[in-house]
Amino acid sequence: MIPCAFPKAQFLPHQDEIVDAVRSVLNSGRYILGDEVARFEAEFAQYLGIEQIIGCGSGTDALILAMRAMDVRRGDEVIVPSHTASATVAAVALTGATPVFVDIEPNYYTLDVGGVAAACTGRTKAIIAVHLYGQSADLDGLLAIAAKQGIRLIEDCAQATGATHRARKLGTVGDIGCFSFYPTKNMGAIGDGGAVACRDPALAARIHRLRQYGWDDKQVSRELGMNSRLDELQAAILRVKLRHLDADNAKRREQADRYRKALSGMPAKLPPERDSARHVYHLFVIRAPERDSLVQHLSQKGVAAGIHYPTPTHLMPAFRNGSRLPVTEQIANEIISLPLYPGLDARSQAQVVSAIASFFGGRPKR
């Protein structure tokens, strides 16, 4: 079976470097917030071109820390897409604020700018722009709204590490960028991990405190904080992964181009790329009629396709609030994520394409 995602593919080519890095941490005797975390934060900041990176326990924690540093609290509203991993919305709810769902663009599946403008109220504190599947949301439009309304723009970069908007790395365009290093991500840890990217020194200092009990440098809690620390082992592994991130993203783009050429002409909508963005293809998502039948057919042909995401967040019991989002709800019934990851070879991709072609009754292009 060809898997939809294969985190081990990020390990195997670099296993000697990773094992050496892990051994070094084990021998150091320092396992929490030591030199490896500090070095990773500095190297990732340099890679993104931003002043401050604060490592934390997960991408969800990164969002919570960002909002808490911005004083988002009960009674506030935060605008979010429903078409996202539920972690985005859970982070808002866990601050006590109210998630306000807005529909998405039909082409790029990210926040619809017109809908965001209409959803702003006197209680709106922030917008979370989810850069979905590896590509930027409409940051130009969202930045304009944030500036006009005097609210914050948070970038959820969990699926888009290394992607750009107008040649700037995602996570450095809005007020704060939040990253996940879950193992399937473009730069995945071997476990959980996250980071917050920040230009504002005051915000960064507060996030540093909040990630560890609100402590100052004498371990006195100045405010109520969390226990959300990126550990030394994951930081050491991520330092290795960071050195190979651009090359791995280039492989993802090559695979996406291969799919695009081979699937052209079939009755499936292929993912477009924004003119202002560089897509890094965390996922290669197509839209197709009779989606569920196609997924079953692919499974019978030895291809494990995914669906990201089959249930819109606004329809989940934990978050249901009566919102009606027609584009989101339609797309949730049509999307399929095809196998794509560094290490996926051309022969396996040809098998995926052949399976899709057999469903539609055609032949793949050569």
3-class DSSP string for 197-213: EECCHHHHHHHHHHCEC
Q: What is the DSSP string of 39-53?
A: HHHHHHHHHHT-SEE
Same-domain check for residues 162 and 209: yes
User: Looking at residue 364, what is its pLDDT?
Assistant: 61
Alpha-carbon separation of residue 83 from 18, 50, 86, 309, 326 (angstroms): 34, 28, 8, 7, 11
Same-domain check for residues 184 and 226: yes
Residue 168 lies in a domain: yes
Which of 182, 205, 239 is the last residue in one of the domains?
239
Token pair of 333 as six digits: 């019934």
Residue 366 lies in a domain: no
H or E element that contains 326 = helix 326-332
Same-domain check for residues 209 and 114: yes
Same-domain check for residues 303 and 355: yes
Q: CA–CA separation, 61 vs 179, rounded Å?
A: 10
Q: CA–CA separation, 305 vs 85, rounded Å?
A: 17
Nearest to 359 by CA among 302, 307, 262, 290: 290
Residue 71 lies in a domain: yes
Q: Are 107 and 138 in contact (CB under 8 A)?
A: no
Same-domain check for residues 153 and 174: yes
Residue 2 lies in a domain: no
Token pair of 357 as six digits: 């072609």
Same-domain check for residues 134 and 282: no
Same-domain check for residues 264 and 158: no
Q: Are 54 and 204 in contact (CB under 8 A)?
A: yes
Q: CA–CA separation, 30 vs 229, rounded Å?
A: 13
- Can you give the CATH number for the domain in which 263 is found? 3.90.1150.10
User: Looking at residue 366, what is its pLDDT?
Assistant: 53
Residue 36 lies in a domain: yes
Cβ-Cβ contacts under 8 Å for 162 (sequence gap 6 or more): 169, 186, 187, 245, 246, 249, 280
SS3 300: helix
Which of 174, 204, 239 is the last residue in one of the domains?
239
Q: In 10 A of CB 166, how many CB atoms?
A: 13
Same-domain check for residues 134 and 227: yes
Which of 239, 258, 292 is the last residue in one of the domains?
239
Q: Name the domain count of the chain.
A: 2
Q: Which residues of 327-358 are buried (b: 16+ CB within 10 A; e: fewer)?
A: bbbebbebbbbbbbbbebeeebbebbbebbbe
The residue range of the domain holding 131 is 7-239
Same-domain check for residues 217 and 311: no
Q: CA–CA separation, 95 vs 75, rounded Å?
A: 10
Same-domain check for residues 234 and 161: yes
User: Looking at residue 362, what is its pLDDT?
Assistant: 72
Q: CA–CA separation, 324 vs 329, rounded Å?
A: 8
Mean pLDDT by 10 residues, the chain (366 residues): 95 97 97 97 98 98 98 98 98 98 98 98 98 98 98 98 98 98 98 97 97 96 97 98 98 98 95 97 96 98 98 98 97 98 96 97 66
Same-domain check for residues 283 and 337: yes
Q: What is the pTM of this model?
A: 0.97
Cβ-Cβ contacts under 8 Å for 320 (sequence gap 6 or more): 314
Residue 265 lies in a domain: yes
- Can you give the CATH number for the domain in which 88 is found? 3.40.640.10
Residue 180 lies in a domain: yes
Residue 1 lies in a domain: no
Same-domain check for residues 197 and 270: no
